[in-house]
């Protein structure tokens, strides 16, 4: 196996039979290449999927109010439903068993300025729990806290890009910005993985915002995080109970599809999980299919290679080659060629994935296509193994064939 002469003999045979070498090498390289690229794209799709659903906390419900569509208990249809601070309190008390955290959200847009610069930003009045819910990461200072809400402080937490726009390199903490004709103290700067828009936001205590808006107690939206341990079934039960409770509280027909909406990530997620596992099986299926095609290809070529060499093998036997040296020679050559070309296919495939990178994200939803190196190497070894196996059977037959039969085949 490791004799230098055997290798020289093999190199000689490879060098002087270029078409044969190319055919078997090409099959393996192409098989591995297609496998790596397809598998990589599949993983890229998977990544895009994950990205869509990981920006916000997964155990979250958004409760929104809208207009009713049915008359109920003396109320007319098309009545506008609004939440207020009392609702927030009631929900918190009644569903304490389920709730991990709760926060209202009032969204507006406002002109925020510092010195000579000013700009329009989306302004959100929120509670302290909103930070955890949106997975907001503090870079400097702190987030809105309970005291801010209680005392209706004019404190503001600004996004990374807001800070960049208004302050540039200047330190923003403790400075005052103007907004809505009042001045606000910057108490924190945050970043968010959800993209640039998420970093052009300004957070203020919701109570302060209500105070400015003619001292109302209205809330647009309530965001609830439930305890993860209640699981999917618990989340759905919670959602149904909450919906029923709110409809009762606001005098909405229980059969009215509008009035109160609850968007529950859990039920979306379970749909997505199904889709994702479907996607994964397709990727797996495609991968296995490609490999199978590769294996069949290399097997065919090995049979062809041995058939083509029958006469040569007969000559070698007539001048003293033992059957084992014949089998060894064919296998070693086959394994050598398939290993090298498998490696080339692997590297090319990974190279293509690297090159493609994220250029396919926009149009094809393929993000960070990659192949786990172990999977790729396993696939390569599988092809080499089957190539060797496919070569072994005809090689064994060729080694058994009587030289005289091989030689009279003119």
Q: Which residues bind other proteins (CB under 8 A)?
A: 5, 8-9, 12-13, 16-17, 311-312, 314-325, 399-400, 402-404, 407, 410
Q: Which residue has the tokens 């924190």?
A: 188
Measure Cα distances from 381 to 44, 110, 339, 370 in Å.
24, 61, 8, 19
CB 305, min distance to other proteins, A: 13
**3-class DSSP state for residue 350?**
helix
> Distance between CA 50 and CA 45 in Å, rounded?
9
Q: Which residue is it, tokens 């296995």?
A: 288
Q: 287 or 394, CB closer to other proteins? A: 394
In order of 176, 301, 322, 359, the CA distances from 402 in angstroms are 97, 23, 12, 59
Min CB(16)–other proteins separation in Å: 4
Taking the complex as a whole, the smallest distance from the CB of residue 399 to other proteins amounts, in Å, to 7
Other beta carbons within 10 Å of 378: 12
Question: Among residues 222 and 331, whose Cβ is nearest to other proteins?
Answer: 331
Shortest Å, Cβ 22 to other proteins: 15
- In terms of CB distance, is 115 or 400 closer to other proteins? 400
Q: For residues 105 and 317, which CB has a smaller minimum distance to other proteins in the complex?
A: 317
Cβ closest to other proteins, residue 350 vs residue 399: 399
Q: Report yes or no: 159 and 128 within 8 Å, Cβ to Cβ.
A: no
Task: Report angle CA 265, 271, 277 to the nearest 5 degrees.
Answer: 125
Question: DSSP letters of 209-244?
Answer: HHHHTTT--EESEEEEEEPGGGHHHHHHHHHHHHHH
Of 13 and 183, which CB lies nearer to other proteins in the complex structure? Answer: 13
Query: Closest CB to other proteins among 250 and 316?
Result: 316
Residue closer to other proteins by CB (options 54, 322) is 322
Report which DSSP code applies to 67.
Answer: B
Minimum distance, C-beta of residue 377 to other proteins, in the bound complex (Å):
33
Question: Closest approach of Cβ 323 to other proteins, in Å?
Answer: 5
The distance of closest approach from Cβ of residue 322 to other proteins in the complex, given in angstroms and rounded to an integer, is 4
Are 177 and 186 within 8 A, CB to CB?
A: yes
- Find, among 109, 110, 113, the residue nearest to 165 by Cα: 113
Q: Which residues of 39-69 are buried (b: 16+ CB within 10 A; e: fewer)?
A: bbbbbbbbbbbeeeeeeebebbbbbbbeebe
Supply the minimum distance, in Å, between the C-beta of residue 404 and other proteins: 4
């Amino acid at each position: 196996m490791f004799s230098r002469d055997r290798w020289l003999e093999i190199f000689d045979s490879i060098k002087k039979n270029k078409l044969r070498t190319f055919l078997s090498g090409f099959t393996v390289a192409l098989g591995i290449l297609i496998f790596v690229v397809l598998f990589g794209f599949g993983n890229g799709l998977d990544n895009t999927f994950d990205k869509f659903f990981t920006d916000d906390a997964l155990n979250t419900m958004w409760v929104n109010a809208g207009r009713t569509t049915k008359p109920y208990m003396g109320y007319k249809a098309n009545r506008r439903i609004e939440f207020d601070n009392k609702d927030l309190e009631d929900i918190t008390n009644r569903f304490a068993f389920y709730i991990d955290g709760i926060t209202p959200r009032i969204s507006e847009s406002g002109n925020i300025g510092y010195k000579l610069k000013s700009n329009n930003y989306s302004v959100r009045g929120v509670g302290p729990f909103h930070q955890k819910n949106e997975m907001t990461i503090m870079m400097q200072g702190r987030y809105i806290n309970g005291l801010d809400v209680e005392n209706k402080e004019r404190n503001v937490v600004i996004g990374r890009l807001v800070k960049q726009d208004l302050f540039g390199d200047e330190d923003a903490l403790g400075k005052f910005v103007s907004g809505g004709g009042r001045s606000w103290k910057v108490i924190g700067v945050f970043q968010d993985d959800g993209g640039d828009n998420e970093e052009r936001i300004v957070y203020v205590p919701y109570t302060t915002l209500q105070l400015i808006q003619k001292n109302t107690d209205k809330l647009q939206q309530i965001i609830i995080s439930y305890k993860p341990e209640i699981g999917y079934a618990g989340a759905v039960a919670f959602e149904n109970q909450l919906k029923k409770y709110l409809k009762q509280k606001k005098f909405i027909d229980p059969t009215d599809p509008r009035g109160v909406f609850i968007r529950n990530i859990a039920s979306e997620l379970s749909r997505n999980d199904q889709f994702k596992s479907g996607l994964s099986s397709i990727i797996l299926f495609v991968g296995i299919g490609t490999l199978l095609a590769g294996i069949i290809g290399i097997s065919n070529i090995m049979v062809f290679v041995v058939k083509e060499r029958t006469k040569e093998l007969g000559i070698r036997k007539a001048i003293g080659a033992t059957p084992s040296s014949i089998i060894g020679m064919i296998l070693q050559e086959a394994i050598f060629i398939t290993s090298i070309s498998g490696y080339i296919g692997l590297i090319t495939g990974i190279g293509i994935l690297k090159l493609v990178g994220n250029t396919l994200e926009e149009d094809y939803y393929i993000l960070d296509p990659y192949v786990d190196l172990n999977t790729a190497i396993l696939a390569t070894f599988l092809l080499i193994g089957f190539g060797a196996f496919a070569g072994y059977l005809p090689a064994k037959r060729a080694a058994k064939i009587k030289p005289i039969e091989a030689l009279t085949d003119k």
